[in-house]
Amino acid sequence: GQNIDQPTEMTATEGAIVQINCTYQTSGFNGLFWYQQHAGEAPTFLSYNVLDGLEEKGRFSSFLSRSKGYSYLLLKELQMKDSASYLCAVSDSNYQLIWGAGTKLIIKP
């Protein structure tokens, strides 16, 4: 079966760095997405990786290793507004999105 694993919840301190991991097992691979979702709101797109390596976009970076079925989202200089759920999603061989359950990130002052 197809499976996406990410931690349920993480806690970090304002100003620090946090890494949210995502491992996947899917039938085929056509890219991995990270989305941010604040409570009661719809998800917003953060990043897309289809090739191995690190993609940097401001305070957020996303890494992919296809051979390991692994990705992480790195958030730097954490701000209170970064408190949200972070969703990992993989596009499989049929270009269908397989969603992880999301990681709730709690930022403490």
Partner 1 sequence: GAVVSQHPSRVICKSGTSVKIECRSLDFQATTMFWYRQFPKQSLMLMATSNEGSKATYEQGVEKDKFLINHASLTLSTLTVTSAHPEDSSFYICSASYSGTGSSPLHFGNGTRLTVT
Interface with partner 1 by CB under 8 A: which residues? Answer: 30-31, 33, 40-45, 48, 50, 87, 91-92, 94-97, 99-102
Shortest CB 5 distance to partner 1, Å? 12
Shortest CB 47 distance to partner 1, Å? 9
Dihedral angle sign, alpha carbons of residues 92, 94, 99, 100: negative
- Closest to partner 1 by CB, 57 vs 109, is 57
The number of residues making up the chain comes to 109
Shortest CB 35 distance to partner 1, Å? 8
Radius of gyration of the chain (CA): 13
CA angle 98/58/70 to nearest 5° reads 35
- Closest to partner 1 by CB, 16 vs 97, is 97
Residue with the two structure tokens 């991991």:
21
